[in-house]
Amino acid sequence: MRQYIADNQDRFLDELFELLRIPSISSDAEHSSDMRRCAQLLVQLLVDAGADSADVWPTDGHPVVFGQKIIDEKLPTVLVYGHYDVQPVDPLELWKSDPFKPEIRDGAIYARGANDDKGQTFMHIKAFEYMVRTGCLRHNVKFLFEGEEEIGSSSLEKWVRDHSEMLACDIMLVSDTTMLGENVPSINCGMRGLSYLEVVVKGPDKDLHSGHYGGAVANPVNVLCDMISSLIDENGRVTVEGFYDDVVELSEADREMLGRAPFDIDEYKKSIGIPDVKGEAGYTTQERQSIRPCLDVNGIVGGYTGEGAKTIIPSSARAKISMRLVPNQLSSKITELFKKHIMNIAPPYVKVEVFEHHGGDGFLIPISSPAYKAASRAISEVYGIEPVPARGGGSIAILAAMQQILGADPLLMGFGLERDTIHSPNESYLLSQLFKGMESIALFYKYFDK
Amino acid sequence: MRQYIADNQDRFLDELFELLRIPSISSDAEHSSDMRRCAQLLVQLLVDAGADSADVWPTDGHPVVFGQKIIDEKLPTVLVYGHYDVQPVDPLELWKSDPFKPEIRDGAIYARGANDDKGQTFMHIKAFEYMVRTGCLRHNVKFLFEGEEEIGSSSLEKWVRDHSEMLACDIMLVSDTTMLGENVPSINCGMRGLSYLEVVVKGPDKDLHSGHYGGAVANPVNVLCDMISSLIDENGRVTVEGFYDDVVELSEADREMLGRAPFDIDEYKKSIGIPDVKGEAGYTTQERQSIRPCLDVNGIVGGYTGEGAKTIIPSSARAKISMRLVPNQLSSKITELFKKHIMNIAPPYVKVEVFEHHGGDGFLIPISSPAYKAASRAISEVYGIEPVPARGGGSIAILAAMQQILGADPLLMGFGLERDTIHSPNESYLLSQLFKGMESIALFYKYFDK
């Protein structure tokens, strides 16, 4: 595969750049034609790489791309999952280059989706192309690329349920996560779940003059701040009633094993520019962001936010609030607990509404499984270092649902790095990781058997 | 004057509408040419009305309009203060008609500035015109119209200091406030002061993926909410250290007198669409919004606030926070106490900055003064009811400063009504109040002597 990459590198980058140039932002309805264009291009890439068939499938939302090559029903089947939608790009002014005009700087591709997840998805198409063209493919391979991962995969679960026979597989192979470092390869053995909601506080039916009414009328921003502030206690624990009921405490041995991954707290703080860390009492930073649940406000807005000053009591205020969950916490249950809690703490002098955005359960992957072992061997060979098992803090909401529907475990072979700043301005993906990822994936197929 | 109004009504409205069509939004730099255009039009209106001179005077910010007619140095001199700048118009979609295309509906003019303060300022120009043209003017009259009232009058204090001799007067006459009701005329005998600041909380140097970092990194929005929530205690009192030190408690007799103004709490709640009132324990709604200081968030923003959902820990969050002050609380002192308090409660895991917007002191006007008595007699004659003294909750920051520099008291003869929704969409001004205001002002001159 290494030689094949060297021989085809320029073509690979041309193809990937074409994919990255499409602004497939799933959360913005204005980009729905871009979504379709991106799906069409993926179909073309799959067919060119050697798929027997590949098609754009409509869903209730953005379309799904499905393609496959079945060489022998008796051989193991790998289902590759990826997503072609990307996060919004604001604040645009912080990008050093246009997010949809990919360019290479210092050995990395800079573009929205360079890593998440177009770049990582592309590795699978090219590893597949290599195996087909060199005649070494000894698995059935199916590809499922969705267009709604960044907005909660709301249409995919139904689509997967409706096409579960077509999607039948022995393992789901996914590259949508990070490694601990370029020299600290790791394999994700668990992800957090998610509940994402929006709280709206409504006060007066219009903005009021803050001089005439100030002091006598509840201010929706102040009330929302009170409510948000009460959601996390002084020990950094979420106060939603019942929130921790289903959280399984890890054994000291498990915590010790996960704690082996190298971690430099000063380097961590420096890399994201914070004066100090903060989180749940009694847990390390690594634990707080992987094996512990949490609550964050993702966005808040209310009143006058323009230049200068305006003396009003805002009519309303709203906040997007999400909770990361750990395996065994059910997203649907937490969402209900949150809604109930918010309505319980809503004071009588305002109107409060709660809306659901999306969610999904967390999951764990057994380190002793054949797939994990094959991935570990493949990565060891490419990186020269045995990968460590790691728990991811992010969520791929749909994977827990697919695991249940298809009866196959996901395997998270991610090649992203923290430095890639996915979801932020100047998202990037190292060329070295792109090519090592392709090589590792090809070797995974070499070593994987059920 | 009543006959003069009847004879000239159409021309008056044409002239006022021309003034209202100019989008003189002082907080938006894009409107600076509109500000100059508006000032020029006021000069023209003053000259046409009979001023000996009127000019646009440059300041460090938006220009000041000054005009005068001196008929005898020995006669009392009235300085009319008004402002030609208006509040921003957002949210624009809530306006039933274009804010800068005035129209009359149900006996009221709808436009930004219809009341605050173009409409109310216009009454003074027309009362003056009447007195000049009918030969009954027996005062020297000076007009000072500024263009920065809505943004804190930041340039005016210096300009007034530099031109204090030119501005010398016996009384400052101001119409920039409300009456308690059409059938409950009132005169403002005090206004609150203001301190307006902005608090910025900075966390990571870029937005972070809330899955990868959630639980381990302080979220600037959550931190800002914690800080804001702590600023008001469970009794509705501001927690800034020293905030109440200079507040003078009113005597029971004074509270009783101010409490005589008719007030219907159910009507109040209904008029602004709130389920219940909220404020400092131990005080009535009327007291909370006039004789007591308070704190409000005027705007807050942080993180992703667009359509749908984005899973980030925002890099920063900011809130515009203002405090209404009562006479004897110094704005400059409260501003310093607030800054000190914010830095004291700022936690170590974020960076916190505080910026000043603007402020001004509150003031009281003696009910026994000749000016108050003349205004009371004038309004009694026009409305057929004796006006009650009332304390206003709003602030005209510059008046306290001018009172000190010029050694003359302000008199607040306001003809606005709550229904006018100044600072909000669909600002309006009743034609009946516009014309009764002109008449009352003309009668004020009749009865006022030093």
Taking the Cβ of residue B309 and every Cβ of chain A, the question of whether any pair is shorter than 8 Å is answered with: yes
Q: What is the CATH number of the domain that holds A301?
A: 3.30.70.360
Taking the Cβ of residue B135 and every Cβ of chain A, the question of whether any pair is shorter than 8 Å is answered with: no
Q: What pLDDT is stored for residue A145 in this prediction? A: 98
Domain-located, residue A268: no
- Judge whether B273 and A205 are in contact, CB under 8 Å: yes
A118 to A111, A410, A429: CA distances (angstroms)? 10, 19, 10
Domain-located, residue B211: yes
Least confident of A424-428, B80-84, B306-310: B306-310
DSSP classification of residue B230: T
- Judge whether A215 and B293 are in contact, CB under 8 Å: yes
Last residue of a domain, one of B341, B360, B379: B360
Residues A354 and A407 grouped into a single domain = no
pLDDT of B285 above 80: yes
Q: What pLDDT is stored for residue A289 in this prediction? A: 93
Residues A60 and A198 grouped into a single domain = no
pTM, 2 dp: 0.80
Pick the residue from chain B with its C-alpha nearest to A220.
B297
Domain-located, residue A277: no
Mutation for testing the A interface, residue in B112, B312, B329 having most A CBs under 10 Å: B312
Query: Which of chain A's residues have a Cβ under 8 Å away from the Cβ of B393?
Result: 211-215
How many residues appear in chain A? Answer: 450
Residues A175 and A204 grouped into a single domain = no
Q: Is B116 exposed, middle or buried (0-12, 13-18, 19+ CB in 10 A)?
A: buried
For chain B positions 160-189, those within 8 Å of chain A (CB to CB) are: 178
**HEC assignment per residue over chain A:** CHHHHHHHHHHHHHHHHHHHCCCCECCCHHHHHHHHHHHHHHHHHHHHHCCCEEEEECCCCCCEEEEEECCCCCCCEEEEEEECCECCCCCHHHCCCCCCCCEEECCEEECCCCCCCHHHHHHHHHHHHHHHHCCCCCCEEEEEEECCHHHCCCCHHHHHHHCCCCCCCCEEEECCCECCECCECEEECEECEEEEEEEEEECCCCCEEHHHHCCCCCCHHHHHHHHHHCCECCCCCECCCCCCCCCCCCCHHHHHHHCCCCCCHHHHHHHHCCCCCCCCCCCCHHHHCCCCCEEEEEEEEEECCCCCCCCEECCEEEEEEEEEECCCCCHHHHHHHHHHHHHHHCCCCCEEEEEEEEEECCEECCCCCHHHHHHHHHHHHHHCCCCEEECCCCCCHHHHHHHHHHCCEEEECCCECHHHCCCCCCCEEEHHHHHHHHHHHHHHHHHCCC
Report the C-alpha gap between B345 and A377 in whole angstroms.
Answer: 52
Averaged pLDDT score across all residues of chain B: 95
Cis preceding linkage at B91, omega within 30: yes
Q: With b meaning 16 or more CB within 10 Å and e meaning fewer, what string describes B277-295?
A: bbbbeebbbbbbbbbbbbb
Q: Which domain holds residue B379?
A: 2-191+363-447
Partner residues linked to B353 by β-bridges: B200
Mutation for testing the B interface, residue in A90, A153, A222 having most B CBs under 10 Å: A222
Residues B202 and B134 grouped into a single domain = no
Residue B8 is inside which H or E element, if any? helix B2-20
Residues B25 and B67 grouped into a single domain = yes
Q: How many other CB atoms sit within 10 Å of the CB of residue B53?
A: 12
As a whole number, mean pLDDT of residues B69-92 equals 96
Residues B108 and B182 grouped into a single domain = yes
Taking the Cβ of residue A58 and every Cβ of chain B, the question of whether any pair is shorter than 8 Å is answered with: no
Rounded to a whole number of angstroms, the distance from the CA of B401 to the nearest CA of chain A is 18
Q: Which of A171, A164, A146, A179 is nearest to A397 (CA)?
A: A146
- Judge whether B305 and B206 are in contact, CB under 8 Å: no
Query: Residue B183 contacts by C-beta under 8 Å, 6 or more apart in sequence?
Result: B383, B385
Residue type at A200 in one-letter notation: V
> Residues B396-413: pLDDT tens digits?
878 989 998 999 999 999
Domain-located, residue B175: yes
Cβ-based contacts under 8 A for chains A and B:
355
Q: What pLDDT is stored for residue B358 in this prediction? A: 85
Q: What is the CATH number of the domain that holds B427?
A: 3.40.630.10
Q: What pLDDT is stored for residue B75 in this prediction? A: 96
Question: Checking DSSP bridges between strand A409-412 and strand A428-430, what pairing results, if any?
Answer: unpaired
Question: Checking DSSP bridges between strand A190-191 and strand B186-188, what pairing results, if any?
Answer: unpaired
Rounded to a whole number of angstroms, the distance from the CA of B282 to the nearest CA of chain A is 12
| Opening angle at CA B323, ends B428 and B326, nearest 5 | 90
> How many domains is chain A built from?
2
Last residue of a domain, one of A342, A359, A376: A359
Q: Which of A214, A224, A302 sits opposite B324 (nearest CB)?
A: A214
ipTM score assigned to the predicted complex: 0.80
Q: Read off the tokens for A27.
A: 């959360």
User: Does residue B151 or residue B426 have the better pLDDT?
Assistant: B426
Q: Read off the tokens for A225.
A: 């701040």
Is there a contact between A214 and B424 if contact means CB atoms under 8 Å apart? no
Domain-located, residue A86: yes
pLDDT of B391 above 90: no
Report the C-alpha gap between A174 and A114 in whole angstroms.
Answer: 16
**Which phi and psi angles does A166 have, rounded to 5°?**
-60, -30
Q: What pLDDT is stored for residue B397 in this prediction? A: 75
Domain-located, residue B150: yes
Cis preceding linkage at B117, omega within 30: yes
For chain B positions 330-349, those within 8 Å of chain A (CB to CB) are: 347-349
Last residue of a domain, one of A344, A359, A374: A359
Q: Per-residue confidence of chain A (450 residues) as pLDDT tens digits?
A: 999 999 999 999 999 999 999 999 999 999 999 999 999 999 999 999 999 999 999 999 999 999 999 999 999 999 999 999 999 998 899 999 999 999 999 999 999 999 999 999 999 999 999 999 999 999 999 999 999 999 889 899 999 999 999 999 999 999 999 998 899 999 998 899 999 999 999 999 999 999 989 999 999 999 999 999 999 999 999 999 999 999 988 889 888 878 877 889 999 999 999 999 999 999 999 999 999 999 999 999 999 999 888 899 999 999 999 999 998 999 999 999 999 999 999 999 999 999 999 888 998 887 888 999 999 999 999 999 999 888 888 888 789 899 989 999 999 999 999 899 998 999 999 999 999 999 999 999 999 987
Cis preceding linkage at A117, omega within 30: yes
For chain B positions 59-78, those within 8 Å of chain A (CB to CB) are: none
Is there a contact between B280 and A424 if contact means CB atoms under 8 Å apart? no
Q: Which of A230, A215, A221 is nearest to A201 (CA)?
A: A221
Taking the Cβ of residue B306 and every Cβ of chain A, the question of whether any pair is shorter than 8 Å is answered with: yes
The alpha carbon of B448 is separated from its chain's Cα centroid by a whole number of angstroms, namely 25
B124 to B2, B78, B79, B171, B440: CA distances (angstroms)? 14, 11, 11, 14, 10
Residue type at B187 in one-letter notation: I
Residues B147 and B172 grouped into a single domain = yes
Is there a contact between B214 and A324 if contact means CB atoms under 8 Å apart? yes
pLDDT of B10 above 90: yes
Taking the Cβ of residue A6 and every Cβ of chain B, the question of whether any pair is shorter than 8 Å is answered with: no
- Judge whether B406 and B172 are in contact, CB under 8 Å: yes
Mutation for testing the B interface, residue in A176, A221, A298 having most B CBs under 10 Å: A298
Residues A212 and A352 grouped into a single domain = yes
Report the C-alpha gap between B147 and B24 in whole angstroms.
Answer: 8
Residues A298 and A340 grouped into a single domain = yes
Is there a contact between A206 and B94 if contact means CB atoms under 8 Å apart? yes
How many residues appear in chain B? Answer: 450
> Residues B58-73: pLDDT tens digits?
999 999 999 999 999 9
Residues B347 and B404 grouped into a single domain = no
B195 to B105, B359, B416: CA distances (angstroms)? 37, 4, 24
Residues B99 and B134 grouped into a single domain = yes
Residues A79 and A200 grouped into a single domain = no
A86 to A32, A290, A446, B319: CA distances (angstroms)? 12, 23, 31, 30
As a whole number, mean pLDDT of residues B229-253 equals 95
Taking the Cβ of residue B136 and every Cβ of chain A, the question of whether any pair is shorter than 8 Å is answered with: no
Domain-located, residue B154: yes
As a whole number, mean pLDDT of residues B189-199 equals 94
> Residues B341-378: pLDDT tens digits?
999 999 999 999 999 998 889 988 878 889 999 999 99
Q: What do you get for the CA distance between the two ends of chain A, in Å?
A: 23
Q: What do you get for the CA distance between the two ends of chain B, in Å?
A: 23
- Judge whether A190 and A293 are in contact, CB under 8 Å: no
Report the C-alpha gap between B142 and B54 in whole angstroms.
Answer: 10
Is there a contact between B423 and A301 if contact means CB atoms under 8 Å apart? no
Report the C-alpha gap between B135 and B42 in whole angstroms.
Answer: 22
pLDDT of B39 above 90: yes
Domain-located, residue A351: yes
